[in-house]
Chains A and B, each alone.
Chain A
Amino acid sequence: MRAKSCAPVRLTLPPRGQEAGAGRATIHTHTQSGAFPAPSSLQVVAGTERAQAAYPYYMQFTAADDQRFWFYNSMHFPEPMSAFDMVTAEAAYCALGSSTTRVHCLPTTLGIDYRIINGRVYIGGNAVTDPAEIARRTGEFQQRAFYYYGNWERLYAQWREKMLVLIREAQALPKLELPEFEPLANVHAGRGIASNHRLLETYQKALEGYFRMWHHHFEFLLLGYGAYMTFFAFCKKAFPEISDQTVARMVAGIDAEIFRPDEELRRLARLAVQLGVDAEFQEGRTAQAILAALGTRGDPGRTWLEELATSRDPWFNINVGDGFYHYHRSWNDDLSMPFSGLPGYIAQVKAGESLERPIEKLQAQRRQLIQDYRELLGSEQEREAYDQMIALAHRVFPYVEGHKFYCEHWYTNLFFNKIREFGSLLAAHGFFADTEDVFQLTHYEVEAAIIDLMTSWSNGSPPRGPEHWPQIVSERRAAIVEWAKHSTPPALGPVPDVIDDPAIVMLWGITRESLDAWLHAGSDADSRELRGFAASSGVVEGPACVVKSVEEIARVRQGDILVCQITNPTWAPIFQKIAGAVSDIGGSMSHAAIVAREFGLPAVVGTGTATSRIKDGQRIRVDGGRGVVTILE
């Protein structure tokens, strides 16, 4: 969360032709002065028109969209989206809008509209401005949202149960098989439905489950953020100079789920030392090699592997991104990430460090922090209001912190891996050269390919897909590479007087400051200074290790300053190695910020352009208390 307060956010007009990601080729050709470029002035990159046309009609910009304000959702979708991955936006906005518009009936806002061009997702709010309508929706909101707040613990416990049911359903989806003949057992049982139908059924269930998961994701989220924002806004009024991270520390949970994967890793490091198998964990050795070596170490090796298995289910279901891209694989799918952290932890254990998070001490510190600020308030009346607000924020925040593990990580991994199974099946039947090609099709097209395969199995003719899809897939892969080379404007359309849509303020933290930062980045590309959100205080200088994708994570060396697009708790194991962190995306309540504070590392998040402006190996200074990164050479 990084919004400053509930004060209306005013957008300033950008000077002509400014955009995020300066220094790269630009897509749009002209900019009206006094407004962001109109959506219709954005051009599809030459040669990628067919890839653009693949996205469904309801995601394409139309002429009417020129009348509205849009901004690039670089927070969730920092890279061009493949055709299939658009389902993450589709399912998420469908569920988000249901919650805000119709379930909890937020008084001043409906849902979020979204469009895609050149693989970039633009979104726009849908504000309610008629006072009579706001009043009517306020009545509805208080009957609905207040019920949720009032029954939070019970409903949240119920939510976990629902999520576990959903996860079990996804795990129970059958393996994909197309035997030459229908198994005899099925025939004798009088099943009456042939195996090919199972493919359609499984695909539709997988897709349906994913859409359903997003409804659960938003069941509590806006209410949780809203309670946090209430406390946040109060603190900003009472203490105008308080840092975002200090308010975050007062609210953030100490034993939230997001810390668990890293805690499991620390546990495994301690265990390796206790069992005397720690010598197997050498920097640079692959996970496969380590696992094989442990297999030869008798009982201690076996014990460690058994404990690894308990950690993996479920805590290694965390993915290395934020759950919006199919290629952000989980620790379970790729053990290199967690294993890269083990040698460092093992060295710490051997140096006598316990690696246990001092939960009680951290809790006492948080209590003290809350108490210290409370004392400074101006009156007893304010203290009473403060007590009420922090109490509500503490009640609701475990959901805000906990839901991601279940939704964006655990469930999303199951979903993408199921789609991957379809990719593998289709590849085996000649539709694709590679399993991963399936993600270049929209979810509608995947279904079409499945029906093609089902038909082929049933009528005995070859499928049509192998002639149809490979060309399309390579065209779309090329388009994504091309799109990634082009920058895209941070916003489009007429500049609104104010942005005070609570959903946008809460979820994207779009503030006057953040826009100024983008605009500043565009106008002053030569500047050696980058501004972002002060995520974790402290000042550090060191060499930048610019990591543009998770695959490069192994390059990070002790003492480097990590510069990346986005980090999440998966990256925690490398936080023990680094001296500081800088990200393109994220707010002061982002997981990167929380982990950095936990490790006591200076961090600046949400700079917008760090990975494009900082060169690998450059010396930089990170001032995490002020949110400033300086390029020193």
Chain B
Amino acid sequence: MAAGRHIAWFEEIGLGDREQVGGKGGSLGELRRAGIVVPPGFVLRTAAFARCLESLERDAPVRAAVAALNGEDLEAITACSKALRSRFDAAQLPQDVLEELAAAQERLGRAHPQQPVAVRSSATCEDAADASFAGLQDTYLWVRGAAQMLERVRSCWASLYSVPSISYRLKHGIPEERVAMAVVVQIMVDAGTAGVMFTRSPTTGDRSVVTIEGAWGLGSAVVGGEVTPDRWVLSKITGEISVREISDKLIQHVPAAHGGVEAVAVSEERRRVACLSDPQLQELGTLARQVERHYGRAQDIEWAIDRHSGAILLLQSRPETVWSARDAAPIAKREEDPLMHVMSIFGNRPCR
């Protein structure tokens, strides 16, 4: 079954397709290319958003309304946001888009019957690498059924017109014509353990270690900062685990009965138990290295372990920005006379 104009399966895309599939969609496709297992799914391309936007523009201006706003005028932004969001929420999708979306969902559902999906915004703009912009749009977890999915797709589009999103674009002078949004629909991982990992130490900038943070349940509790995760540091090269901090994990996120997630208390006996075994840590470390090698730069990665199969899946990978921006002068350079290096030890008390 060939995908239509508006749908792209993860296996068909990569980072180079960000213009059509957004940053998140491109990154998931790229991870698959790197041989990494990600939860299966597809992307509703930006073209679908564009067509919806065009039809809304025919009724009343959308982009021009945003462009006309004053970034300082929060009241006006709020009013505009409210109006635009309700227009997107009520928007009629073109028939061919609806058909392609239904076909894609059916195909996904056949392969993974009864499985809820995550519907995630995958925005694109000129500076798509800018993680702070990507973080402003919404993600919906544990979405069940075709109707709910469709509703969430519109919500994702609408989140492009949230107050923070609009403010951000106004503040950074991002032109409205370059803003578009794809939507990722992928099978939800029923995670027993989930978290994040950094291929460069967030605390020291060390490139030779992977820092892994994890907690029980869905990763949203870790990403949202609702639980203090367990933390490990392992060497990329020797696999040695130099830090093991097991925290008191009071709550965990679990799927809610009617979609979405909810926080529940972790049982007394599991609270202070490490949420990952050493073999799992080593496997995560290997994956982190694989992703980093593929991209050729340090990455921040979201991961989850399927509660039923025990499989490790990656949900997202973003370039690390903090330490990479700090790299300035090299620690040491080649010396004409290599012996001059020893003067750093014997010489003029250089560190004083």
Contact = CB atoms under 8 A, between A and B. Distances in A.
A125 interface: no
A444 interface: no
A93 B188 CA distance: 69
Interface in A84-120: 106-108
Nearest to A626: B242
B345 A246 contact: no
B350 interface: yes
A6 B342 CA distance: 11
B344 interface: yes
A373 B330 CA distance: 15
Contacts of B209: 239, 241
Interface in B224-241: 233, 235-238, 240-241
B352 interface: yes
Contact of A241 (B242, B327, B342, B351): B242
Contacts of B241: 625
Interface stretch (B7-15, B93-101, B200-208, B303-311): B200-208
B327 A378 contact: yes
B345 A388 contact: no
A392 B346 CA distance: 15
Contacts of B327: 378-379
A502 B332 contact: no
B208 A242 contact: yes
A500 B351 contact: yes
Contact of B347 (A108, A381, A385): A108
Interface stretch (A167-175, A230-238, A478-486): A230-238
A408 B237 CA distance: 36
B279 interface: no
B341 A242 contact: no
Interface string B323-338: 0000100111111011
B233 A241 contact: yes
Nearest to A109: B346
Interface string A468-509: 000000000000000000000000000000101010001000
A382 interface: yes
A230 B351 CA distance: 13
B114 interface: no
A382 B242 CA distance: 25
A391 interface: yes
Contacts of A392: 338-339, 341-342
Contacts of B242: 241, 243, 625-626
Contacts of A6: 344-345, 350-351
Interface residues of A, number: 55
A56 to B, nearest CB: 32
A8 interface: yes
Contacts of B333: 381-382, 384-385
A230 B240 contact: no
Nearest to A623: B244
Contact of A500 (B207, B233, B240, B349): B349
B322 to A, nearest CB: 14
Given A138-B348, A385-B334, A373 B208 contact: yes
A379 to B, nearest CB: 5
Contacts of B236: 372, 376
Interface string A114-147: 0000000000000000010011001001100110
Contacts of B343: 138
Contacts of A237: 331
A236 to B, nearest CB: 10
Contacts of B207: 238-239, 376-378
A498 B345 contact: no
B348 A246 contact: no
A382 B233 contact: no
Contacts of A246: 235, 237-238, 240
B205 A385 contact: no
A10 to B, nearest CB: 11
B330 A243 contact: no
Contacts of A305: none
Nearest to A149: B339
Interface in B22-45: none
Given A246-B240, A392-B339, A625-B242, A384 B334 contact: yes
B51 to A, nearest CB: 45
Contact of B339 (A150, A238, A625): A150
A227 interface: yes
A66 B242 CA distance: 41
A376 B208 contact: yes
Contact of A385 (B208, B240, B330, B349): B330
Contacts of B347: 107-108, 138
Given A7-B351, A107-B347, A107-B348, A243 B235 contact: yes
B346 A241 contact: no
A369 interface: yes
A241 B330 contact: no
Nearest to B324: A378
B141 to A, nearest CB: 34
B341 A389 contact: yes
Contact of A388 (B330, B331, B335, B346): B335
B238 to A, nearest CB: 6
Nearest to A104: B346
Contact of A239 (B208, B345, B350): B208
24 contacts: A6-B344, A6-B350, A7-B351, A106-B346, A107-B347, A108-B348, A108-B349, A226-B342, A239-B209, A240-B205, A241-B201, A242-B208, A372-B236, A376-B207, A376-B208, A376-B236, A381-B333, A385-B332, A385-B341, A388-B335, A388-B338, A388-B341, A392-B342, A500-B349
Given A223-B342, A234-B332, A381-B333, 17 more contacts: A6-B351, A7-B351, A107-B346, A108-B349, A145-B342, A243-B242, A373-B237, A376-B236, A377-B207, A378-B207, A382-B331, A384-B334, A385-B332, A385-B334, A389-B341, A392-B342, A502-B346
Interface of A: 5-8, 106-108, 131, 134-135, 138, 141-142, 145-146, 149-150, 223, 226-227, 229-230, 233-234, 237-243, 246, 369, 372-373, 376-379, 381-382, 384-386, 388-389, 391-392, 498, 500, 502, 506, 537, 625-626
Interface of B: 201, 204-209, 233, 235-238, 240-244, 327, 330-335, 337-339, 341-352
